[in-house]
Structure 1
Amino acid sequence: MEKLRMTSPDLTDANIDKLAELFPSVVTETLDAEGNPRRAIDFDLLRQEISDHVVEGPQERYQLDWPGKRAAAFAANAPITKTLRPVREESVDFDTTKNLFIEGDNLDALKLLQESYLGKVKVIYIDPPYNTGNDFVYEDDFAESTQEYLARSGQVDDAGVKLVANTESNGRFHSDWLSMMYPRLKLARNLLTDDGVIFASIDDHEYDNLKKLLDLVFGAANHLNTFVWASNLKGRQISSSGAAGTKEYVLCYARHAEEAGAFRVSGSQMKALMPSIYKGFNYAVQNDEHGPYVLKNELYNTNSAFNEETRPNLVFDIYYNEDSGEVRTSPVSVNHTYDGFIKISPKQNNNGVNRYHAFRWSARKVETESYDLAFVESSSGWKVYTKVRDVDSTSLKDLLMDISTNEGAADVERIGIDPSWFDYPKPVSLIRTLIGAASSRDSIVLDFFAGSGTTAHSVMQQNAFDGGTRSFILVQLDEGVGPGNTAQKAGFAAISELSRERIRRAGSAVLESVGLAVGTLDVGFRSLRVDSTNMADVLRSPGETDQLALHQLEGSVKADRSGEDLLFQVLLDWGLELTMPIVVERIDGHEVFVVEEGVLIACFDSEVSPELVRTIAKREPLRAVFRDSGFSSDDARINAEQVFREVSPATDVKAI
């Protein structure tokens, strides 16, 4: 029996709970006066979370630590002056799709997505670099200067992409990898819904570190599962000693474990991922007037000890009429055989004592839901089974077998792509099963290590399977494919180009497979590119300018940027989703962008007429934006504001 607290509430614990919700990484353990461990706040890390510079001040505590950790935390919070530019020519169904493909560093992309997709992503799947000593990892340049990095690694590609071969000889082999992953996971967590989850594939090289890192970012209590995937049953010798490796892992964490819910998949999907000796799906589907069903369990409860005194509602006899199908739980006659009723008692143990003498259902449920009971006569007497109506749904298991890593290569080969273009692409069926189990039919799925594009392929296949409208956001660094790669010989320069080509072909294959049942199946994507801000740097000291150069500083927008470029930066600044439908109209000779029927109307022409301002105001959009330099004077800008106050006072009007 719990005791009353008899004290005022412990506000310290309440405050720790609040901080844990905002910043899970700052919760740690310390010792109290008696030497017992208790929860505490790492104030050094908390200061870092709310600081705009690197904070020093280490203190002994239980934590995952490595050289560069503070700088990595700072990198997650530091603002950037970048934007996302649309690339229509690389897109598919640009005007109608709800999917995104972003080319560029995923740290930048995750920062740019923070407002538009905060708390909106249901499932994240990532397959990060496995840090085997040959993989390339992202070099974020927050722990050392560019010169130091180049001196250490001695390499940078022609395009200036920051890549470093992270070899075993590097003294910071694990630290570099952790510093790369930490800020990305922190930013990714912000994007998850309250019931959202992240799946992260990893092998033995960094399993321990990734597990601890996810504990740090999401909180150890939000660890849901560690899936073991038997990816290569032939085995691969990892080192000169020990056994051959046959498995990889998929770590799964929730934003809030109590809200994530159970993972359910179809029996056919789960059967494909379980060993052939597993008998859990060897059942026959039957039908009655209430629909299909399967018999999976006997009604007898053999898990606990019962008797009439402890659980009288579960200790009774069932009376069943084989001819009429009627079921009762009270005697129908003295000899229990009146009018064809048969008495069926719960199982008893060998000594006849009423241990296990109970049913799993109450007497009332047996009578009211008797249509979901099946009575089967056997040599040992009558047995009662429950009918399970959800005939093609089962819980996802954390052991995934009977699917080889080689199937990933087969997936791309089936859509006409040379498997050698990619290094060990993940199988579609693996990721599709995870997505199907953890997402709703209208969820957003994010993968910020897109690689071969398997996640997009999986989302489209799952939508075709269950009629869903899931959308995907993929991010891939414009990393070179490497000299001698067959993809380079085929004309592809970067992995991001390969990813887009795979998604295009996968979309066409999915459409072909569903035929006339296409419906609203979305196999397109808007291609965006991380780039520098659209705004020109016009800040100069008086000594840096002369009278002749002043006219070059009047415009605040870079000369090579289009109106659509500016529109997407406005969408980001306003926190609007980047897949909203966009219609381009010509109004009074001006190019006008109308986003989702008036959620936003924008004109970025170099000259904005009063007539255009009034026309847009009459449409009463929620938001309106103009180019600041498009107004001929301060008076013209003030007049435009006045027009909106009179005609559409609810419109939020801004200028760039």
Structure 2
Amino acid sequence: MGQSPNPADLKRRELEQLLPEAFSEGRLDLDALKRALGEDAVIEGGERYRLDWAGKADAYKVLQTPSTATLRPQRELSVNFDEAQHVFIEGENLEVLKVLQKAYFGQVKLIYIDPPYNTGSDSFIYPDRFQESKEDYLARINELEDDGTLLREGFFRKNSRENGHYHSNWLSMMLPRLYIARNLLRDDGFMVVSIADEELHNLKLLLDEVFGPENLIATLVFDRNRKNDAKLFSVGHEYMLVYARNLQNLKDSNLTLRAPKEGVDEIKKEFEHLKKKYGTDWKKIQSEIIKFYNTFESDDPRYPLTRFRRVDEKGPFRTDGDASWPGGGGPRFNVAHPVTGKPCKKPSRGWVWSTYERMKEEIDAGNVAFGKDEKTIPSIRRNLFDKDEQVMRSVNFSYAQKASQDLAKIFNGKKVFDNPKNYLDLARLVEYLTGAGDIVCDFFAGSGSTAHSIFAVNKRTGQRRKMISVQLPETIDGGSESGRNAVTLGHETISQLCLDRIARALIDIYTTPPLSEQTKVFRLTPSNLKQWRGDGIETAEELEEQMQMFVRTEKDGAAVEHIFFELLLKFGQPLTTPVEVLDVCGTPVHAIHDRTMLFVLSGFSEPMIDALLACAPKEIIALDSVFADSDPLKTNLDLQCRDAGVRFTCL
């Protein structure tokens, strides 16, 4: 109860369910596994194709070490805490992921992260040596004060190119986080990771190991800026690697992803304006539409729409669609020209339509374009306004300067963060990969661009996606222009700046935001519950001392609300679960899921038994201390719960 789930145990249970014949007395039998999979499925010998690095085994130790931390609510930093559907968590993201794992296992639709690119100037958390014991790791993660700040330098530090384990450090940092991220994803979920050239190759291999190479969907390229002072090539692009949790599942469900055509609404607005001005003078309207197109730069996302250069009552259209059968061998029936009445020239590969009747339907619908006479092969007409959706391109233009300007705009024109992600790019991605009610998570939240994108998508679509943002309280460097501006605003850490950006972005998008679009804030802290430390006990006196500590499960001074949210997560309930605080015989009792789950944390009396059972709960959780050493009272509750078919858990 006091620790997060161990990913290795979860994997073992999955494997045991899938291949029970490969286990004997609870342990994996490698010979039986070989028999189950077939001898050819097992690699013999020491040489094989795989990603390896110094410290990989220790990175797995870190992954498999449970967390005893918890998340403490910060009402004073939240807005509309009780109804808010977005969550912001300040704390070290690996520990946060471990704490969230039970409550959000298989619940998240999209995880997007923008981790350190390992350029040689990045700082992140990694072991300072490559033989780290569990005790060393626990000591390291406990270098946090109760408020989540760091106790000592060295916990969060720069990974310079001169470091002998430069790439290994980065991989050791990424591996456990990606593994737990995969556990959080739904079976139809997506993982998207931004990266640059420095670690693209390593990240691809690492994601292949965690997700399986068969689940790679695409490598997206974002051209962010031009560097005219470059001596060889102007390298200004970044990547996003897109993986599915289970790509075969998406294929089996016939999932088709489509995004709004960017710029169609603007062209439609211009077309309607020109119709009011010029009536049915299509030549004049066409000329003006082309002038409008000429304002688009070649790297503008709207530029591909400029191919629709002809205009009639249906709007801009093009007539260059190929009407021939792909690969050749298509039907070769006669089609009369509408003016000359003679059979039109046929495409060498045959018609794309299987029968004349099918082609006639398209002709009658105005979707086939004829030349001035029968000597021209007819083509397919496409109208710009017929389809307002398209498949997302793998190469995109996204200026870094625009992202910085958009962020500065909501901070009164002040630059407060270097190299933020363009929230509009992320909004397109979020809308493409998620739907109403879906959960999106970003555990390298940075300046808060992903949260900003969620607000934009929710406002545009009228839907409600939920956001979980996680950011380490990394100290802001006051030596840079952006750092000085952020410090002037009163922000000491990036997490504070991120939370401010979330609040400002919400106002910028909505003006008057719905209550559900607000954010509840939590902070990573040590557990409110005492942890049994049996491994260091050597004498009877030490054992007695340890047992005396557990007269009460909770730590002295632990607030009831803090204990409640810790138990909420440990019992697998999300942080946005609606909570009702009942007055039961003068004692506050926390209730969730229409009172089917009750938490008794403040006290207990005999009359409360009937009152609690009257709520028709399925489960009652109580601290042992609420019974004030009255075993008969606790036993009575336990027996009556059994009679009523209610699960009773005493901590």
One fold, TM greater than 0.5?
Answer: yes
Distance 1:562 1:546, change over 3 A: same
Task: Tell me the CA shift for residue 433 of structure 1.
Answer: 1.5
Distance 1:144 1:274, change over 3 A: farther
1:255-654 to structure 2, matched below 5 A, reads 255-260=245-250, 261-268=255-262, 275-276=299-300, 278-280=303-305, 282-283=307-308, 298=321, 300-307=323-330, 314-318=331-335, 345=344, 347-348=346-347, 355-360=348-353, 362-363=355-356, 365-366=358-359, 372-381=365-374, 383=378, 385=380, 391-401=387-397, 403-416=398-411, 419-484=414-479, 485-486=483-484, 487-512=486-511, 522-537=516-531, 542-544=540-542, 553-605=550-602, 607-632=603-628, 633-646=630-643, 648-649=644-645, 651-654=646-649
Q: Deviations over 1:560-595 (max 9, x none)?
A: 322221222222122112111112232211111122
Between the aligned partners of 1:186 and 1:280, the Cα distance in structure 2 is: 41
Residue type of the alignment partner of 2:308: Y
What residue in structure 2 maps to residue 29 of structure 1? none
Structure 1 range deviating more: 520-529 or 573-582: 520-529
Residue type of the alignment partner of 1:482: D
What residue in structure 2 maps to residue 327 of structure 1? none
Cα RMSD after superposing both structures:
3.6
What residue in structure 1 maps to residue 218 of structure 2? 225
2:124 is aligned with 1:126: no
1:101-140 to structure 2, matched below 5 A, reads 101-139=88-126
Between the aligned partners of 1:166 and 1:292, the Cα distance in structure 2 is: 56
| Structure 2 gaps, min length 5 | 1-14, 20-38, 138-142, 267-295
Between the aligned partners of 1:563 and 1:431, the Cα distance in structure 2 is: 38
What residue in structure 2 maps to residue 212 of structure 1? 205
Distance 1:377 1:422, change over 3 A: same
Between the aligned partners of 1:287 and 1:579, the Cα distance in structure 2 is: 52
Task: Tell me the CA shift for residue 438 of structure 1.
Answer: 1.4
Between the aligned partners of 1:285 and 1:555, the Cα distance in structure 2 is: 79
Equivalent pairs counted in the alignment come to 560
Between the aligned partners of 1:39 and 1:522, the Cα distance in structure 2 is: 54
Distance 1:345 1:252, change over 3 A: same
Residue type of the alignment partner of 1:159: L
Between the aligned partners of 2:623 and 2:390, the Cα distance in structure 1 is: 55
Distance 1:387 1:583, change over 3 A: same
Q: Deviations over 1:69-96 (max 9, x none)?
A: 1111222122121112211111122111
Distance 1:90 1:242, change over 3 A: same
Q: Deviations over 1:32-85 (max 9, x none)?
A: xxxxxx984579xxxxxxxxxxxxxx9321111000111112221221211122
| Structure 1 gaps, min length 5 | 1-14, 20-37, 44-57, 150-154, 308-313, 323-336, 349-354
1:245-256 to structure 2, matched below 5 A, reads 245-256=235-246
Task: Tell me the CA shift for residue 178 of structure 1.
Answer: 0.3
Task: Give the structure-1-normalised TM-score.
Answer: 0.77
Task: Tell me the CA shift for residue 421 of structure 1.
Answer: 2.6
Between the aligned partners of 1:459 and 1:316, the Cα distance in structure 2 is: 52
Distance 1:620 1:384, change over 3 A: same
Structure 1 range deviating more: 375-384 or 98-107: 375-384
Task: Give the structure-2-normalised TM-score.
Answer: 0.77
Q: Secondary structure at the match of 1:482?
A: coil
Between the aligned partners of 2:86 and 2:218, the Cα distance in structure 1 is: 28
Task: Tell me the CA shift for residue 386 of structure 1.
Answer: 5.4
1:122 and 1:443 in contact (8 A); partners too? yes
Residue type of the alignment partner of 1:409: S
Distance 1:535 1:317, change over 3 A: same
Task: Tell me the CA shift for residue 446 of structure 1.
Answer: 0.9
Task: Tell me the CA shift for residue 400 of structure 1.
Answer: 0.7
1:508 and 1:523 in contact (8 A); partners too? no
Distance 1:624 1:201, change over 3 A: same
Task: Tell me the CA shift for residue 550 of structure 1.
Answer: 8.7
Alignment counterpart, residue 71 of structure 2, candidates 61, 78, 84: 84
Q: Deviations over 1:339-365 (max 9, x none)?
A: xxx5765633xxxxxx32213354454
2:627 and 2:633 in contact (8 A); partners too? yes
1:13-24 to structure 2, matched below 5 A, reads none
Distance 1:144 1:477, change over 3 A: farther
Distance 1:412 1:369, change over 3 A: same
Between the aligned partners of 1:387 and 1:274, the Cα distance in structure 2 is: 22
